[in-house]
Amino acid sequence: MENRLKYKIANRYLEIKTEYPEKLAKLLPGFGHFHDSSDSEESLIHLVREGESEEERLMQPDSETNIIHTFNIEQDICRFSKRGNNYFFTITERGGSVSAEFSMEAESSRVKCRLVPDYRNGTILLSNPVHLKFALWMIFGFRGIPRKLSAIHSSVIVYNKSAVLFLGESGTGKSTHTRLWLENIPGSTLLNDDSPILSIEEGKPYVHGSPWSGKGQKYLNESYPLKAVVRIRQNSSNKIQKTKYSGILWSSLPFVSSGIS
C-alpha cells in the first residue's frame, strides 16, 4: 500500500509517494521540520516510483538522448540529459552503477523516481542516502526556477525581521561571517547556513528556510523579506561597498541551483 510524505518548503509543496514512509523519512534529515498534512494545495513536486519494467526503460540511454551537463559530487557523477519532452537527472557511482535517477517534464509536477525497493525487508535500497536529498535539491531548482524560486548557496542572517544573504564560494567565509553577526550584533539570528530558498512573491524578494543545510544543521520553516545581498571575497583588509543592482545579480548567478528552461 502506498502512503505519502508531504512537505511545505518556501510555501510550495513537495509530495513523495512511497510504500515505506517511515524508513524513507529517515533518509531525509531536516525534512521533518517541513512536514505538512494538508490536502488542498497542488504540489510543486509530485515524486512517484515507477514499476520495474518502466525503470529499466527509463534508464536505457539511446541515440536520441542529449547530455546537457555533467558534474561531480565527491567521487560520483551527476548528469542532466534530455530525451523528447523528458529531462533526466542521474547520479552514477564511481564504479559505474546508478545510485538514483529522476525523470521529469518542464510543465508537469510529476517526477518519476528510480529507487530500488527491498520487498523482503520492507525498505529501500539506496547505496548513498545523501544522493536522494541532493537530487531533491536539484529537482526543486528544476521545478522552481521557472516559477521564480530557487535554492541559493548562501548563509543567511535574520535581523529586524528581514533577511541578509551572504554569498561566496565554498571556503570564502560565509559561515564565519554570519557567526560574527550572531556574536556581535544583538537581535541577529541564523536562518540557514548553506542553502536557503530565494523567491519572488507578488513582485518582492523573500528568503525561506529549507531542509537543505550545512554543518550547522539549521532547519527553520520560516520566511522573511530580503533586505540585502552581500558578496564576500577574501582580502588582506576589511572593506564594504555598495554595488549596483546589475552587479549583484550577475555575481549571484553561480550560487543558484541548476534549473533547465
- The span from the CA of 105 to the CA of 111, in Å, is 8
Q: Is the pLDDT of residue 124 over 60?
A: no
Q: Which residues on adjacent β-strands are paired with residue 92?
A: 77, 98
Distances (CA, A) of 109 to 15, 48, 68, 130, 222: 10, 10, 21, 23, 24
Q: What is the pLDDT of residues 61-116, one digit of tens each?
A: 566 788 988 998 888 899 989 988 889 998 888 877 777 888 888 778 888 877 55
Residues 171 and 246 in one domain: yes
Average per-residue pLDDT for the chain: 81
Q: Is the pLDDT of residue 139 over 70?
A: yes
Closest CA to 46 of 1, 92, 102: 102
Task: Report pLDDT for 98.
Answer: 77
Closest CA to 138 of 108, 111, 167, 175: 111
Residues 127 and 205 in one domain: no
Q: Is the pLDDT of residue 52 over 50?
A: no
Task: Report pLDDT for 104.
Answer: 87
Q: What is the pLDDT of residues 178-210, one digit of tens each?
A: 899 999 999 999 999 989 999 999 999 999 999
- The span from the CA of 25 to the CA of 44, in Å, is 19
Residues 53 and 109 in one domain: yes
Task: Report pLDDT for 207.
Answer: 97
The domain total for the chain is 2
Give a yes or no: residue 261 inside a domain.
no
Residues 122 and 157 in one domain: no
Q: What radius of gyration do the chain's Cα atoms show?
A: 19
Q: Which domain holds residue 140?
A: 3-146
